[in-house]
Amino acid sequence: MVHKGFSAGERFKGNIEIGDLILDLSTKMRIRGIEILNAWEYLKEFLKAAKAGKNILERIKDIKFNATIKGNSTTLAY
């Protein structure tokens, strides 16, 4: 799970579930958090290539990301 936190005057509003992806929305309708269920399955090839193994997910402490909604798609970038 990655969560960006809420700005002043902003609170948790709800979630959108898209398969194994859960997006946390704020009262300003901004994506503030992302949870990927079964993340190991999605990231295992990347982690093998990085030769870091599964423990890299446990060592992540902070990540910055941007979410862009355009039409029916959402793009997440870090």
14-34: pLDDT as tens digits: 998 988 889 999 998 888 888
When divided into structural domains, the chain yields a total of 1
Instruction: State how far the Cα of 54 lies from the Cα of 32, in Å rounded to an integer.
Output: 25
Tell me, yes or no, if the pTM score tops 0.85.
Answer: no
Instruction: List the domain range (segments joined by +) for residue 32.
Output: 2-77
With bands split at pLDDT 50, 70 and 90, how would you rate the model's confidence at 70?
A: confident
Instruction: State how far the Cα of 35 lies from the Cα of 67, in Å rounded to an integer.
Output: 13
Q: Work out whether the CA dihedral 3, 50, 40, 17 comes out positive or negative.
A: positive
Average pLDDT over all residues of the chain: 77
